[in-house]
Amino acid sequence: MDGMTFALLLILIPILLIGTLILFSIWVYRFIKRKRLNPKWRIIAFIPVIAVGYFIYIAFYPSAEFYKEDFKEVTGIEFPESSIFEFKTASYPDLHGDYTSVSIVNVDEEFYIKLPLNLIKNGLSENEANIEHTEKDKAISRLNDRKIETEFSKENEGKFYYVAFLSDKKTILVQRSSH
């Protein structure tokens, strides 16, 4: 099977599955209506459509848990409870499941000071290596007057990890890219 056929199948199979679910929902809705069952039962017909819609939504707009897991993968540390995401963005996974996620995180001063040592323990090194990506560009445009002061990165088995410390001494930028 050549690449074009494979790509076409990757597009057609989800469309067929979603189309089948929608047709099934319409059939169930009409069945309930025709049998003059309680109108409240009609909502059952739309459960498959709602479920598929939910999964499509989280594919394009991942939850905070997704970014917390990437934070832990990059830093080797659990996401601090007192921290908040100022901004988060991710690319949609490609055919191989590779994606880039970037987040700007506000942390407390103590965590900000201790994080560089933890990053070094986890194999990241201080340098200016980075992988440019549109997701990172989106995050950098949100930095306002803050500047990147220190950068740590690591390449590991097809993944690139990057942490930048910003000049306000309480914000970090975290990037995870796979390729």
What local confidence, expressed as pLDDT, does residue 165 receive?
96
Domain that holds residue 56: 3-60
pLDDT score of 3 more than 70: no
What local confidence, expressed as pLDDT, does residue 45 receive?
83
Categorize the per-residue pLDDT at 44 as very low, low, confident or very high, splitting at 50, 70 and 90. confident
- For the segment 50-95, what is each residue's pLDDT rounded down to a tens digit? 888 888 888 788 899 999 999 999 999 999 999 999 999 998 877 7
At 134, which amino acid appears? T
Q: How far apart are alpha carbons 31 and 67 in whole angstroms? A: 43
Q: Are residues 23 and 9 in the same domain?
A: yes
DSSP tag of 172: E
Q: How far apart are alpha carbons 176 and 162 in whole angstroms? A: 7
Q: Are residues 162 and 122 in the same domain?
A: yes
What local confidence, expressed as pLDDT, does residue 169 receive?
93
- For the segment 110-153, what is each residue's pLDDT rounded down to a tens digit? 999 999 999 999 999 998 777 778 888 899 899 989 999 999 99
Q: Are residues 121 and 172 in the same domain?
A: yes
Q: Are residues 24 and 106 in the same domain?
A: no
Mean of all residue pLDDT scores within the chain:
88
Q: How many domains does the chain have?
A: 2
Distances (CA, A) of 90 to 59, 70, 123, 171, 175: 10, 11, 24, 19, 9
The two structure tokens encoding residue 131: 């992988």
Q: How far apart are alpha carbons 67 and 71 in whole angstroms? A: 6
What is the percentage of the chain residues whose pLDDT exceeds 70? 98
Q: Which residue has the higher pLDDT, 99 or 131?
A: 99
Q: How far apart are alpha carbons 178 and 135 in whole angstroms? A: 13
What local confidence, expressed as pLDDT, does residue 16 receive?
87
Q: How far apart are alpha carbons 51 and 179 in whole angstroms? A: 30
| Domain end residue (candidates: 42, 60, 78) | 60
What local confidence, expressed as pLDDT, does residue 49 receive?
84
